[in-house]
């Protein structure tokens, strides 16, 4: 099995990249129940903003800062001025999916109009590489993995040891009960949108920097893959999303190595349909049958 070390190494790398976005997606979905299909558009926009601010510099710390700032700000505005009004109007769950996908289309084709016929790419030069067990990983990839690990620990600390985290978990598991216990669910849901947006922006900017070139549709496929990770782990469960990312990362790299490179996303996406049909509650966690929209 000469393929195995490669599958594990690159699987871990994609898992790390995925987990940042997947945790952000699932956190917001768990707290608000809004299926945010504009997440992919926001993710792609973070690459463009990072590129524009850094003039194509692949600096990872810049990507982190710009991604987090841009993601948090735009997600907050999106939640406050688009999602919340529609929810207050009584739009249904599917109606919200259509609202968010409409926003996603506006972002994607807006970026396309801005980009024009030009091709953009981060100036990723030759990098020092590290060889582990016969697999060559670039320094950038290792840093991305480290950043993802730190972010996951940060999310863990936020959820476990802060009052905000407690309020988020309470709102996610039973919104009206949480409200009854004095949790300001309005503020909690805005906080969830901000945290989710920041993670989304970071994930997008890091994806752009580690892939090099990007275009207005770059985030779309990656977005679907991270949704798979979130749903495999159980919707609304951040720890599930981390485990889901690991599973999806390894499976997609295995598919790429064993079948053909083009198949990594196809196999990952098929996993979503299988999981939704066989076990919609994800690999762990109980399924919330009655879902209540809180924009």
Partner 1 sequence: MSGGIEFYVSSLTLLFGINLIAVWGLDLQYGVTGIFNFAYIIFQAAGAYADGILSLHPANFYQAGETYVGGFHLPFPLPLLGATVAGGLLAVPVSFIVRRLRGDYQAMALLVLSLIATAFVTAQTNFLDGSLGLSFIPKPLYGSVLPASPVSYQWYYCAFVAFVALMVFFMVRAIVTSPFGRVLRAVRDSETAVASLGRSAHRARYIIFIFGGALAGLSGGLFVQYITSWTPTGWLYPETFLFLTAIVVGGAANLGGNVLGTLLVIIGIQEATRFLPQVVYPGLIDSLDWVVIGLALLAFLWFRPKGLVPERRRTLARFVPGQRRTADDLLLGTAAASGALAEVPDIGQPRSDES
**By CB under 8 A, is residue 232 in contact with partner 1?**
no
CA distance 38 to 188: 20
Q: For residues 228 and 65, is the Cβ–Cβ distance under 8 A?
A: no
Asked if 89 interacts with partner 1 (CB under 8 A), we say yes
Nearest distance from C-beta of residue 115 to partner 1, angstroms: 9
Spatial separation of the C-alpha atoms in residues 45 and 201, rounded to whole Å: 8
Per DSSP, what are the bridge partners of residue 138? Answer: 129
Name which position in 62, 221, 239, 288 contacts partner 1 (CB under 8 A): 221
Q: Is 288 a residue that touches partner 1 (CB under 8 A)?
A: no
Q: CB of residue 53 vs partner 1: minimum separation in angstroms?
A: 23
CA 161 to chain CA mean position, Å: 23
- H helical segments located in the chain: 3-32, 39-54, 60-78, 84-88, 93-115, 139-161, 163-173, 175-180, 185-211, 218-232, 238-258, 263-278
Site string for partner 1, 111-130 (x = CB under 8 A): -xx--xx-------------
Structure tokens at 159: 């959820």
What Rg value do the Cα atoms of the chain yield, rounded? 19
Contact region with partner 1 (CB under 8 A), list: 52-60, 150-158, 166-174, 224-232? 224-232
Q: Of residues 266, 283, 285, 288, which one binds partner 1 by CB under 8 A?
A: 266
Parallel, antiparallel, or unpaired: how do β-strands 120-121 and 213-214 relate? Answer: antiparallel
**Residue 99 touching partner 1 (CB under 8 A):** yes
- In Å, the largest CA–CA distance within the chain is 57
160 counts as binding partner 1 under rule CB under 8 A: no
Q: How far is the CB of 250 from partner 1 (least distance, A)?
A: 19
Contact residues toward partner 1 (CB under 8 A) are 35, 37, 82, 85-86, 88-99, 101-106, 108-110, 112-113, 116-117, 175-176, 220-221, 224, 227-228, 260, 262-263, 265-266, 269-270, 272-273, 276-277, 280, 292-294
């Amino acid at each position: 099995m000469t393929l195995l070390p490669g599958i594990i190494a690159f699987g871990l790398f994609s898992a790390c990249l995925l987990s940042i976005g997947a945790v952000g997606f699932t956190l917001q979905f768990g707290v608000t129940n809004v299926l945010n299909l504009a997440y992919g558009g926001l993710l792609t926009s973070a690459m463009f903003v990072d590129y524009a601010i850094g003039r194509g510099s692949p600096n990872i710390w810049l990507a982190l800062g710009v991604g987090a700032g841009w993601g948090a700000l735009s997600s907050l505005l999106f939640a406050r001025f688009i999602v919340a009004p529609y929810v207050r109007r009584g739009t249904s769950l599917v109606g919200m999916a259509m609202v968010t996908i409409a926003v996603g289309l506006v972002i994607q084709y807006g970026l396309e109009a801005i980009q024009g016929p030009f091709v953009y790419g981060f100036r990723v030069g030759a990098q020092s590489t590290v060889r582990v067990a016969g697999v060559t990983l670039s320094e950038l990839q290792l840093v991305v993995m480290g950043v993802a690990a730190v972010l996951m620990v940060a999310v863990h600390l936020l959820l476990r040891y802060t009052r905000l985290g407690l309020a988020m978990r309470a709102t996610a598991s039973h919104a009206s009960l949480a409200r009854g216990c004095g949790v300001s669910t309005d503020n909690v849901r805005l906080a969830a949108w901000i945290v989710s947006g920041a993670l989304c922006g970071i994930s997008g900017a890091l994806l752009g920097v580690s892939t090099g070139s990007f275009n207005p549709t770059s985030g779309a496929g990656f977005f679907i893959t991270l949704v798979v990770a979130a749903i495999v782990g159980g919707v609304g469960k951040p720890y599930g999303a981390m485990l889901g990312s690991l599973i999806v990362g390894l499976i997609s790299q295995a598919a790429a190595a064993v079948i053909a490179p083009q198949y990594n996303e196809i196999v990952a996406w098929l996993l979503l349909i299988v999981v939704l049909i066989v076990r919609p509650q994800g690999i762990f966690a109980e399924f919330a049958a009655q879902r209540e929209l809180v924009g």
